[in-house]
Amino acid sequence: MNVDNRMIFCHDNLDILRGINSDCIDLIYADPPFNKKKTFTAPVGSSAEGAEFSDIFKEEDIKDEWLVSISEDQEKIHNFLEGIKGIEGRTSYTFCYLAYMAVRLMECHRILKDTGSLYLHCDPTMSHYLKILLDCIFGEKNFRNEIVWCYTFPGNFPKDFPRRHDIILRYSKTENYFFYKKTISTPYKANFTSTRGVQGSHKYEEEHQKIRHEKGKTPEDWWTHISNVSQWRSELLGYPTQKPLALLERIIQASSKKGNIVLDPFCGCATTCVAAERLKRQWIGIDVSVKAYELVKQRLAKDVEREGELFYEKLVKFSTDPPKRTDQEPDYLPQKYVYIISHPQYEGEYKVGIASDVKSRLGSYQTGDPGRNYKLEHSCLTPYFREIEAYIHKKYENKHEWVQGDLKDIQFDIEHYEHENE
């Protein structure tokens, strides 16, 4: 692991995520902007005064480099975004938000251990779109739960049912994931009697039923255990979108163990960090505002039994610079495939493009062809993938991304391309 425990980064989280070694994080809880199309600000006089974040996503906020990376590494997401763009246009808030989220969720997947899990907190504004993104990145088979966190507080909605729940999408990286049922089991509400026992067991012996009753049950995927803001009013700092400690503690207990590393890439007022410290986990927080660093020390001194504020003043680390990966050589350059794909219908024309996984890219073409006649003619793994692709498209006549020429000549030019600095 190349990042210290109790570290707060104040920087764009994409740069921080890209600097973390692969396969080293046990649990990620992400509470990103919900695409509410407004700016959230902590009230003057509150503990979180000065905290602010924008939940507005516009075309100028989206970097072309993100879209290029998605097209090369995540064909499914590229096609999904193209569909959104076709319906709403490139300038739509939805397209821009999903592009922003996609590149960050791709990095979250990379840095998770095979036993790790991601909990993505959202609401019905974008939850249906984010579910598709996560299915593309983590795989549909690794979707574990759509958790509904229910809550209540006063308010009148004359023409609608009150909106009083959030969505938490839970994914594992593989099927070999941590889940600690015992740490989150809740008591049965009904008192045990030898005549009724506990449902869900074919063993009706009284002693066995007593044991099951004492162990309790695994909570369902609708959570009402912190349903009223009055239950956690004492925690409130005035930070917009603050979540209760008990919510984070359930997530951390369910999907990590003591000593594991918990990461929050949108840590805000640092609830995840505080909950992780209370449960004796290691933690890393990322936020664009320095307020997160101030609040985590303040909250740790108050909510965690240690030696007072100075204890965490010394232990909590702060950085505005992304970490440097140590799981790669210092002069490492990322490599991708430059590929050539043909189709008998287009004689003398070849698709020359870039992909991290050429088999997957070929498969995406085959999906749209009933005869599955697309053929992978050649692929070359190289750190100069973008230079080579641009060179081929410039040298040969082309129609969009299909070039016209002799297959052997195109293959030769790809294999024998001389990098300008060599």
CA pair distance 177, 179, nearest whole angstrom? 7
What tokens appear for 262 in the block?
């918990």
Question: Span 59-84, mean pLDDT?
Answer: 92
Q: Are 26 and 44 in contact (CB under 8 A)?
A: no
Residue 10 or residue 368, greater confidence: 10
Torsion of CA 422, 389, 349, 356, to 10 degrees: 110
Q: What is the largest CA-CA distance in the chain?
A: 84
Beta-carbon contacts of residue 413 (< 8 Å; ≥ 6 apart): 391, 392, 395
Task: Between 18 and 228, name the one with better pLDDT.
Answer: 18
First-to-last CA distance in the chain?
34
Whether residue 230 is predicted with pLDDT greater than 80 in this model: the reply is no
Mean pLDDT of 363-382: 89
Alpha carbons 104 and 66: distance in angstroms, whole number = 10
Q: Which residue in 217, 218, 222, 274 sits closest to 248, CA to CA? A: 274
Q: pLDDT over 70 for what percent of the chain?
A: 91
User: What pLDDT does 308 receive?
Assistant: 52
User: With 50 as the cut, is the pLDDT of residue 44 above it?
Assistant: yes
pLDDT grade for 401, boundaries at 50, 70 and 90: confident
Q: pLDDT at residue 226 above 70?
A: yes
Quote the pLDDT of residue 49. 79
Torsion of CA 306, 307, 310, 316, to 10 degrees: -30
- Considering only residues 399 and 405, tell me which one the structure prediction assigns the higher pLDDT: 405
pLDDT, tens only, 231-284: 778 888 888 888 999 999 999 999 999 999 999 999 999 999 999 999 999 999
421: confidence class by pLDDT, cuts 50, 70, 90:
very low
Residue-wise pLDDT tens digits, 151-166? 887 777 889 888 889 9
- pLDDT of 235 reads 84
pLDDT at 200 over 70: no
Average pLDDT over the chain, rounded to an integer: 88
Q: What is the DSSP string of 346-390?
A: STTEEEEEEES-HHHHHHHHHHT-TT---EEEEEEEETTHHHHHH
**Could you report the per-residue pLDDT of 343-365, keeping only the tens digit for each?**
999 899 999 999 999 988 898 88
The stretch 101-106 carries a mean pLDDT of: 97
For the record, the structure tokens of 206 come out as: 């009284």
Q: pTM for the complete prediction?
A: 0.87
CA distances from 126 to 132, 189, 246, 252 (A): 10, 35, 24, 24
Q: Do residues 238 and 207 lie in contact, with contact meaning Cβ atoms separated by under 8 Å?
A: no
Average pLDDT, stretch 192-208?
A: 53
- pLDDT given for residue 247 in this prediction: 95
DSSP state of 265: T
Tally of CB atoms within 10 A around 397: 10
Q: Is the pLDDT of residue 186 over 80?
A: no
| DSSP single-letter state for residue 64 | H
Enumerate the H helices of 268-376 as residue ranges: 271-278, 291-303, 309-315, 358-367
- Strand extents, DSSP E, 13-139: 25-30, 38-41, 52-55, 112-122
